[in-house]
Amino acid sequence: MTGDAAPGRYLLRLFVAGTAPRSLRTVESLRRICEAHLAGRYELEVIDIYQQPELAERDGVVAAPTLVRAAPAPVRRITGDLSDPGRILRGLDPSLAEARL
Amino acid sequence: MPEPQAVPKLPKAPTGIAGFDEITFGGLPAGRPALICGAAGCGKTLFATTFLVNGATLYGEPGVFMSFEERAEDLAANVASLGYDLDGLIAAGKLAIDHVRVERSEIEETGEYDLEGLFIRLGFAVDSVGAKRVVLDTIETLFSGFTDPSLLRAELRRLFGWIKDRGLTAVITGERGDGQLTRQGLEEYVSDCVVLLDNRVADQITTRRLRVVKYRGSAHGTNEYPFLIDEGGISVLPVTSADLNYGVAEGVISSGVAGLDAMLGPGGFYRGTSVLISGEAGTGKTMLSSSLIDAACARGERCLSFVFEESGAQICRNARSIGLDLARHEASGLLRFEAARPTLFGLEMHLARMHRDIDRFRPDVVVIDPLSALRGPTSELQATLLRMIDLLKGRGITAVFTSLRQEGVVEAADDLGVSSLMDTWIKLLNVEANGERTRTLYVIKARGMSHSHQVREFLMSGDGIRLVDAYMGPAGVLTGTARLVQEAHERAESLRRRQETERRVRDAARRRAAIERQIAELHAGLDAVADEERLLRDEDALRETALADERDELRARRSRAE
């Protein structure tokens, strides 16, 4: 299943609100998932919306934390603390989720 | 945060919306969120935009528009027709627009989250322009984007608390829901001020209304007020606030018809009163009101004429037939016609429109022609007219209403129940007799002045309107040709009488001449007799003398003979 359409690079942006435990937990959780499934194929940018509110506006972020898959198109948003790896993968790319199962 | 209860008066942020600040005694609660709710298309977004734009332009309070529905460019385009330059305000740093796009299909939820992103974006926008005012339009859209309503509610509560803490005056819009003011029960969170907008259709005519449902800590008008959205923006009309304590304007104004002025004690109508001209079709109501307009404009007064059945140009043309040049006044700006079909708006909207036009034009005389074109439920009609009259009186404007009387309708029903509100009532009546119609005019009532109670015949010609005393005599009141016939008849009669008299005078003169002649003859006879008498006396005397002479001679002879 992995061979089809060679998905190229994933451009991910994670918006978190400050350095609260939940933010840190989310960042850690996301890194783990990406390393496991998208190793070498992704770029992750972690943005603290307190520090860069204008970026939140640009990407239309309302909730925190929010993971934005900027590429490949279409843009997808995953809201929540990313505690469920299965749902994150499904959100990022349904094909990845199926591969894992 | 301590509530500002020590402050005797709740601080308010004026909206700059004409009328709204009056009914809320100053505007929306400053530093608090207010909820504007209503069904789709009733003007929520426009209300909110106006609040922001006026804040930025009139009150020096920059604002943030957080739109959950429309994009910034759509918003700007929508209100550009009202003369609001959102882009200009944004460029000037007085306004920030943030479009929050919430699309259910694009959001995958996994695990815990909060709306910190929204808070931060709002905070960022507020800080970027130093905003004092915020609009959230329509925040309920969030409920369609996120699945956890309890979390959203908690977050909204936090958001409104945050707005209060920041001291922002916020307008939150909400869509009308079933059985409650908004779909998601936002009124539970925004409890300081709730304004309900309504767009009601009755008899296919839409009327926009606004009601302040709740205003914590402040008095407010409780009625439903009609409001208007047009090229001038929103205006709310607190027309029910009118009361009867208006001043009385002094002075008398001419009706433009000399004969009518003569019927009224002071020589015209009192300034600032209401005049009702009622009559059937074709009795000359509009012509009479046109005369009044012409007279007022000729005095240099401003006239505003609301016409519901003709266009202004048509009235001008028709008035030319009686020698009035209204177009001249229109060109000089003293006269303005506002023509609209009565069915274009509901009653309230008509009143609202008039209210606004009157406040803008500031006329001395207002003509409503005809009042009877405004239709609606009787109670509503009467209330509307009452307010209209109050509105005009409160401003010292002389109001002239014409009213079409239906032919054959009972007398009492022809005044729309407003005659008691009118100070002067002139009734035009068609008298039909001998195969012709004649226009007549009565002054039914004229408050505070003596007036003629007699009927006048009403003549229209190229020289204007002329009132003629109707014929009143033993044959009754006659008008028109009948009056002319009767007058001719009377003239013939009097001529005949004069001739008769002359004849008798001549007769008498003749008789007198005859008698005088007789007298002269008798005198002549008398003189003859007197002559004869004198002659006889003379003869007698002569005879006596002769006799005496004879006697003397005889005596002398005898004595000689002795």
Q: Are B441 and B316 in contact (CB under 8 A)?
A: no
Q: What is the pLDDT of residue B366?
A: 92
B29 found inside a domain: yes
Compute the average pLDDT of residues B81-108: 85
Contacts B102 to A, Cβ<8 Å? 62
Q: What is the pLDDT of residue B245?
A: 57
Counted domains in chain B: 2
pLDDT tens readout for residues B213-262: 888 888 887 778 878 887 777 878 765 444 555 666 678 888 888 888 88
Q: State which residues form the domain around B459.
A: 252-469
- Final residue of a domain: which of B432, B449, B469? B469
pLDDT tens readout for residues B48-66: 999 999 999 999 999 999 9
Q: Are B257 and B404 in contact (CB under 8 A)?
A: no
Joined tokens for residue A45: 């940018």
Compute the average pLDDT of residues B518-529: 94
Count of Cβ atoms closer than 10 Å to residue B502 Cβ = 10
| Closest partner CB to B110 (pick from A54, A62, A91) | A91
DSSP 8-state symbol, B332: T
Do the Cβ atoms of B125 and A63 come within 8 Å?
A: no
A1 found inside a domain: no
Joined tokens for residue B232: 């001038």
Its ipTM equals 0.81
Residue B148 identity: D
**Cα–Cα distance measured from residue B468 to residue B329, given in angstroms and rounded to the nearest whole number:** 28
Residue B334 identity: L
pLDDT tens readout for residues B167-202: 999 998 888 877 777 777 777 777 788 898 988 877
Strands B471-473 and B476-478, by their bridges, are: antiparallel
**Could you tell me if B160 and B293 lie in one domain?**
no
Contact status of B105 with chain A (Cβ, < 8 Å): no
**Could you tell me if B140 and B164 lie in one domain?**
yes
pLDDT tens readout for residues B340-361: 887 777 777 777 788 888 888 8
Question: Closest-CA residue in chain B for A93?
Answer: B108
Q: State which residues form the domain around A56.
A: 14-92
Tokens 């259709």 map to which residue?
Answer: B201
**Could you tell me if B237 and B265 lie in one domain?**
no
Q: What is the pLDDT of residue B238?
A: 62
Do the Cβ atoms of B124 and A64 come within 8 Å?
A: no
Which of B102, B113, B136 should be substituted to probe chain A, the one whose Cβ sees the most A Cβ atoms within 10 Å? B113
**Cα–Cα distance measured from residue B344 to residue B367, given in angstroms and rounded to the nearest whole number:** 19
Phi-psi region of A40 (alpha: psi -120 to 50; beta: other; left: phi over 0): left
Residues 6+ apart with CB under 8 A from B348: B207, B209, B226, B384
- Final residue of a domain: which of B469, B491, B511? B469
**From the CA of B140, how many Å to the nearest CA of chain A?**
13
**Could you tell me if B139 and B202 lie in one domain?**
yes
**Cα–Cα distance measured from residue B556 to residue B550, given in angstroms and rounded to the nearest whole number:** 10
**Could you tell me if B192 and B272 lie in one domain?**
no
Q: Are B334 and B301 in contact (CB under 8 A)?
A: yes
Contact status of B429 with chain A (Cβ, < 8 Å): no
**Could you tell me if B93 and B224 lie in one domain?**
yes
Q: Are B443 and B452 in contact (CB under 8 A)?
A: yes
3-state secondary structure of B460: strand
**Could you tell me if B127 and B217 lie in one domain?**
yes
pLDDT grade, residue B536 (50/70/90)? Answer: very high
pLDDT tens readout for residues B152-167: 888 888 888 898 999 9
**Could you tell me if B288 and B405 lie in one domain?**
yes
